[in-house]
Amino acid sequence: MKRSIRDLVNLEGKRVFLRTDFNLPMDNAGRITDTTRLISELPTIRFLVERGARVIICSHLGRPKGFDFRLSLWPISLILMKYFPGKVSFAHKVVGDEVKKQVECMSNGSILLLENVRFYKEETENDPEFSKELASLADIYVNDAFGVIHRKHASTYGVARLLPNAIGFLVENELNIITNALKNPQQPFIAIFGGAKVEDKISAILNILKTADIILVGGAMAYSFMMAKNQTIGRSFSSLNSVTIAKQILEEAQKAGKRIVLPVDHIAYMYGDKKRKTFVTEVLSGEMVGCDIGPKTIKLFSEEIGKAKQVIWNGPLGMYEEPKFQKGTFEIAKIIGHSTAYSIVGGGDSASAVKQAHCLRMINHVSTGGGATLKLMGGESLPGIEVIQEKSV
């Protein structure tokens, strides 16, 4: 078991390098539209502040190529100030003498938010010298950035190797909930997978096949499974590689005696139709483009979910970013929310859909990770976890 923040003692006056995930969504004007991820980090920050630590927060925002004022963490420092009045200051850089002076001037129980760490290319390169510079700012390292726990970057891996370390409450909670749900599921256990590429989710699907009773498949990846079963998909999205992987998954499911349930009808439009006039069809052929699950599929999936005691969902079931293709994803979100099953939703799109469908509070656990959640579901290694010290007995 990895060492947790709760195992750290004598934090008074200690400099704690806290890696968080403040990669918050923004609109076209650069305004932050959702602070859920930041709020989920507050228990860890509050724990450190209340114990008199000097909290140096490091995060990224977006994928900048060098400095980009539109992706500065300055606006996030203003949000933090609302939760910790009089305790938050901002560093316009991440490393260097100026930052070191700011750290030296910190008082116990104060917070220093560093600028966007991805403004430095050395971050994603896991540069050893950059890691040393970051580590020189602190006495202890805490990782509470579950969304990037699968990245082998300087701030998630390199620094952790150089300091006594631990995981924060958010990471600890994510690991415990998802791992326990996969190892000791409540049966019947249903997994729902959507999204575009089956390649991105093969490990998760194959791993979940070991304990799940049924897997429901929607989204664009469903068309690859349909092709693998020699069904026509018209002009719907797929690829040769996706179909090959889908065949492999279907074969594994058959060996394990598990059911994979595919859509039985679709919301589609005709290729080339600029207005994308939609219609319902049970067979995708010719110039048809499938973009959402149809009413019969919603009913079928609903019946299966109704029998479950545990549901894990990852990936939208259609092109939900377009209003005319939202119904399938939103209806399934509501069905899961209103079911009696223990529910876990993982992935940014699925979490966003649950929120837009106004059933966020009805889901037992909404994971803050995207790729990290998938890798954890797939039983893959997470560099940001591997580097954390084991808890002493």
Q: Which of 301, 352, 355, 353 is nearest to 327 (CA)?
A: 353
Q: For residue 34, give its domain range.
A: 5-172
Question: Tens digits of per-residue pLDDT, 224-283?
Answer: 999 999 999 999 999 999 999 999 999 999 999 999 999 999 999 999 999 999 999 999
In this predicted structure, which of 24-33, 73-82, 212-221, 305-314 has the lowest mean pLDDT? 24-33
Residues 301 and 332 in one domain: yes
Beta-strand relationship, 54-58 and 111-113: parallel
Instruction: Please report the pLDDT score of residue 82 as a whole number.
Output: 97
Q: Is the pLDDT of residue 218 over 90?
A: yes
CA dist 184 → 151, 258, 265, 374 (Å)? 27, 17, 33, 18
Residue 90: the pLDDT is 98
Domain count, the chain: 2
**Structural domain contains residue 386:** no
Q: Which one, of 53, 47, 17, lies nearest residue 145 by Cα?
A: 17
197/209 Cα distance (integer angstroms): 18
Two structure tokens written together for 275 = 């207005």
DSSP 26: B
Strand order in the sheet with 214-217: 259-261, 214-217, 189-193, 310-314, 342-346, 365-366
- Residue 393: per-residue pLDDT: 55
Q: Do the Cβ atoms of 134 and 95 come closer than 8 Å?
A: yes
> What residues are paired with 280 via a beta bridge?
267
This prediction has a pTM of 0.91
Say whether both 237 and 133 belong to one domain: no
User: What pLDDT score was predicted for residue 364?
Assistant: 96
Residue 371 among the catalytic residues = yes
Residue type, 315: G
**What pLDDT is attached to residue 369?**
87
Q: What pLDDT score does 62 carry?
A: 93
Tell whether 122 and 262 lie within a shared domain. no
162 — pLDDT class (breaks 50, 70, 90): very high
For residue 36, what pLDDT is reported?
Answer: 86
Q: Residue 61 domain-assigned?
A: yes
67 located within any domain? yes
Give per-residue burial for 165-199: e unless 16+ CB within 10 Å, then b: bbbbbbbbbbbeebeebbeebeebbbbbbbbbbbe
Residue 91 has which token pair? 């560093």
Phi first, then psi, for residue 277 (nearest 5°) are: -65, 125
* Annotated catalytic residue, options 348, 369, 378, 384: 348
Q: Annotated catalytic residue: which of 37, 151, 235, 375? A: 37
Q: Are strands 288-293 and 111-113 parallel, antiparallel or unpaired?
A: unpaired
Whether residue 387 lies inside any domain: the answer is no
Q: d(Cα 276, Cα 266) in Å, to the nearest integer?
A: 14
| Domain co-membership, 163 together with 250 | no
Q: Residue 205 corresponds to which tokens in the numbers above?
A: 């699907």
* 3-state secondary structure labels for all residues of 341-368: CEEEEECHHHHHHHHHCCCHHHCCEECC
pLDDT confidence bin for 120, thresholds 50/70/90: very high
pLDDT 10s digits, 51-62: 999 999 999 999
Do 126 and 208 belong together in one domain? no
Domain boundary among 172, 198, 218: 172
Q: What is the reported pLDDT for 351?
A: 85
- Three-state secondary structure call for residue 326: coil
Helix (H, G, I), strand (E, B) or coil at 36: helix
Which of 208, 178, 181, 176 shows the shortest CA–CA distance to 192? 208
Judge whether 197 counts as a catalytic residue: yes
- How does pLDDT run across 352-377, given as a tens digit for each residue? 888 888 998 899 999 988 889 999 99
Answer whether residue 331 is part of any domain. yes
> Same domain, yes or no, for 127 and 167?
yes
Boundary (domain end) residue, out of 137, 172, 207: 172
Tell me the H-state helices in 214-294. Answer: 221-228, 240-256
Does 392 map to a domain? Answer: no
Q: Does 383 reside within a domain? A: no
Task: Give the mean model confidence (pLDDT) for residues 194-212.
Answer: 92
Q: How confident is the model at residue 171 (pLDDT cuts 50, 70, 90)?
A: very high
For residue 73, pLDDT beyond 80: yes
What is the chain's mean pLDDT, rounded?
95
Same-domain status, 163 and 202:
no
Which pLDDT score is estimated for 307?
A: 96
Residues 166 and 240 in one domain: no
- State the catalytic residue, choosing from 51, 151, 197, 235: 197
Share of the chain above pLDDT 70, in %: 100
**Contacts of residue 275, Cβ cutoff 8 Å, sequence gap at least 6:** none
Residue 217 in domain: yes
pLDDT at 196 over 90: no
Structure tokens at 188: 């019947």
Residues 167 and 210 in one domain: no
**CATH number of residue 34's parent domain:** 3.40.50.1260
Residue 110 has pLDDT above 80, yes or no: yes
Residue 220 and residue 316 share a domain: yes
**Do 80 and 167 fall within a single domain?**
yes
